[in-house]
Each structure stands twice: as structure tokens, then as C-alpha cells.
Structure 1
Amino acid sequence: MLTKKQLDLLEFIHKRLQVDGVPPSFDEMKVALDLRSKSGIHRLITALEERGFIRRLAHRARAIEIVKLPESLGGESTVGFQPRIIEGDRPDAPRPANTEPVAVHAMELPVMGRIAAGVPIEAISHVSSHVSVPGAMVSGTSEHYALEVKGDSMIEAGINDGDIVVIRESAAADNGDIVVALVEDQEATLKRFFRRGNAIALEAANPAYETRVFPEEKVRVQGRLVGLIRTY
């Protein structure tokens, strides 16, 4: 069951998606619900996501998709999302003859410490543990590694504090890519990359953090985000 504020926010997002095709910003949500800070909106968004009514799409700012609506807003039907049904192995549904279980290929990646999604921290340089990831996530010939996210500067890109991000090693990036950036050979941070002439802008996915702009020689891309692992 949703609280009144959660229901009001879900209805507001739903109406904006129907009218404009894009979700409202956190500032617009704050005004619509008459809240004094965006932290209240973050809590409501998280609650709606945990209850399965919305989902935030990774790698895109302001990307919110409504998965289902409560009865008061049109029923429990799904919106814009159809789950893929996987047959289980119930006693009354035996596995067909001449079939074998599908093996899921997994790989072990080193977790190279923590990466700041907030204020940059000391550069990553050591292996702290290992994590198993689906092989499809690390396809290709490039090397990959994982990092634990520290901070909330990328929450509107679907990256939360404590998540494990999978990084493909690369020294180049396109505008809009989420990258591991080494600043002045001292600080490592996870941010969205934009080139502005002879400067590099490192942009957070949280309006509470300002975009940082550096001369291009001060920033070195260490890799691009290719996957995310979250545990509950």
C-alpha cells in the first residue's frame, strides 16, 4: 500500500509521461508535492522503486519508467513493461525430454577498492576482493574490473551508494558516457563525461553536485561503465 505522498508523486509522474513523454525533474516534483527539499523526493522515488511501481534506467538522466499503477490510478496492470515468463520446474510440469539446463557463464573480476560518486577520493590502485559477473557483461577483448561506489552523486543515473560498477578499461570516452576519471593523477571519480573545447566537464547525476570542469590535460579516462551489480 502506498502513502498519500507516494501516490501523489506516482500520479504526477504518470501524467507528465502521458503529456510530455518525459518524466518531471526532481525540482518539478518537489514543487508539485509542496516539499521543502529534494531529499524528500529521493525517499519517495526510492520507496516507489522498491515497491515495484517505477524503475530508474541506468546511464540516463531523469529516466524513470512506470512499471505498474495501483487500482486508484488505473489498476495493477503493467505500463510499458512486459515481463519475460520463464517456466519453472514444478512437479506437474516436467522438463521436456532431451533438454539440458542452460549454463550461465560467469567471470571473476577484481574489485579495485572504492570509487567516489561524490567528492573525488584517492586513486584506485589495489585489489580488495573479487566479484562474479555474467560473462555477457564483459564480452569483448578489453580488460574489465569492478569498483564499489561511495556516495550519491550518480543516483539519477540509477547508481546508488554501495553498488558495484563494472568498468571496461578505456582511455577514450564519448560525450555522455559514465566513466572512471582520474583528475590531476590524484583523484578518481565516477561521473558523466563531456568534452567542451579544450576542457573536460565531469557531470554528476544529482542536482546537489556541481559540474566540475578541468583543462583536458588534467583528466585521464580510466574506463567506461558497462554494468552494475546491486545486492539487497
Structure 2
Amino acid sequence: MLTKKQLQLLEFINTRMQKDGVPPSFDEMKEALDLRSKSGIHRLITALEERGFIRRLAHRARAIEIVKLPESLGGAPSAPVSQGGFTPRVIDGDRPSSPPPSNAFDVEVATAINLPIMGKIAAGVPIEAVSDGAVNVAVPGSMLSGQGNHYALEVKGESMVEAGINHGDIVVIRETSQAKDGDIVVAMVEGYETTLKRYKRMGDRIALEAANPAFETRILPADRVEVQGRLVGLIRSY
């Protein structure tokens, strides 16, 4: 599961290596993806390496080896995942249609739905959410809305503490590209950084507001912010 920017970078590296036999420089990658700094390229390269698409070779300049390609770039289809693995996906939030159990405890168990924890989400400085989906969390069906897909993310940071969202909490997200003022959303910034913030529209700009006075509100052009989901629930372990 690659973001649009990750896929664009992988395609650019592959094209250049097929043409010239060597990978492009970080400056060339930055220019090709229209990013403002090389730090964004470093994050994308790290994400591609963590997902097994590329390998960086030590002690060699510009040494990147492509290990595999997704099907959209001509790679082989993925092999079926065994019982011990997991294919990243989101799960529909509708309640199961099983008959009502006889007591309240059984009702809660019967309506629990396993969602994949798709990585970490920043409640602070934006980071890249890692879509590994290696761990599931059981979510009460009553927490999910009846429409759309849902997934879970682990919160990293303290910028949303006054909204009751702490470091280490698991947030439940309904997948959507739409948001209203005041919604707490998963927002992708400039195509590669992901953060959890309160959304506010300001004409042709978007304000991503923290719920902690120690963190500043970020105001960005609307075309640099992509809403990927809206907060619908929270799970905390003690």
C-alpha cells in the first residue's frame, strides 16, 4: 500500500535506472516530485525501503537497488498471504448481522470488529503514517458509523491532548475525503506527511489546528492538504 508520492518516486527511480543504469540524485528526485526540501525525499526513500521495494547499499553514493515493483508499475502479483501474515486493508464498519445475544456482555463481544492498525499518526510534527497493518485491534461495533471503511492508527505526540487524545492512544478513523469545520481529521500534507489535527476551512487555505497551546496552528494552501479520514472513536490502554 503506497501513497501517491511514494509510487511517483518509485516510478521515477525505476525509469531513470532503466534509462541510465544509475539512480537519480536526491536533488533530481526533489525536482521531479516538486517537493520543497530533500527531507521529504529522505522520508519517501525510507518508507519505500521499509516496505521492501528498494534497498540502499552502504558506503556507495546514490546506491539504490530496486527489489520489487507493485503491479501498477509492472511488478508480479503478490503471493497469497499465509495465516501468519496480513494483507493491508480496511474493514467495513457495518455491524454484524448475528442474532442479539442474551446479555449485555455478549452483545459487546458479538459486535466487536477487528480493524488493522495501519501505523502511527502524528499528533505533533507531521510524520509519515506507515501502512503495515501488522496488528489488529478489536473495536466495538457501536463505535463505527454504518457507512464507509474504517481503520486504526496509533497516536504519536501530544498536540491533541486538550481534545482528550494522548500519546499512545489508538484512534479509529472512518475513511473519507470530506471534512467540516471542527472535525478532527487525518490530513496528508504535501503528499507525504500525515498528521491528526482539527480541520478548519479558510477560503482557499486550510488550518490544521492543534489542541495544545504549545503547538502552533498550521495554515496551508488547500491544494497541499488532503483529508484521508475523520476521527470516529478512540481506544486507550491503562
TM-score by length of 1: 0.56
SS of equivalent residue, structure 1 residue 156: helix
Looking at structure 2, the residues matched to 207 and 128 of structure 1 have their Cα atoms a distance apart, in angstroms, of 34
Residue 116 of structure 1 and its aligned partner are, at CA, apart by: 0.3
Q: Is the 8 A contact 2:112 2:138 kept in 1?
A: yes
2:172 maps to what in 1? 166
Can you list the C-alpha shifts for 1:162-193, whole angstroms capped at 9, x where unaligned? Answer: 00000000001000100000001110000000
1:146-172 CA-to-partner distances (Å, cap 9, x unmatched) read 000000000000000000000000001
Give me the TM-score of the superposition, normalised by structure 2. 0.55
SS in 2 for 1:225: strand
Residue 196 of structure 2: aligned partner: 190
For residues 183 and 169 of structure 2, what CA distance do their matches in structure 1 show?
18
Who is 1:203 aligned against?
Answer: 209
CA distance in 2 between counterparts of 1:141 and 1:193 reads 21
- Relative distance call for 1:124 and 1:195 in structure 2 (3 A) is farther
Matches within 5 A, 1:55-134: 100-102=102-104, 103-104=107-108, 105-134=111-140
Indicate yes or no: 2:161 matched with 1:155. Answer: yes
* 5+ long unaligned stretches in structure 2: 1-100
Q: Which of the numbers 145, 162, 167 marks the counterpart of 2:151?
A: 145
The count of aligned residue pairs is 134
Identity %: 64
The letter for the 2-side match of 1:194 is K
Structure 1 residue 100, shift from structure 2 partner:
2.9
Q: CA RMSD in A?
A: 1.2
Runs of 4+ residues deviating >4 angstroms: none
1:217 lines up with 2:219 in the alignment: no
AA aligned opposite 1:134? P
SS of aligned partner of 1:202 = strand
In structure 2, what is the Cα distance between the partners aligned to 1:106 and 1:159? 22
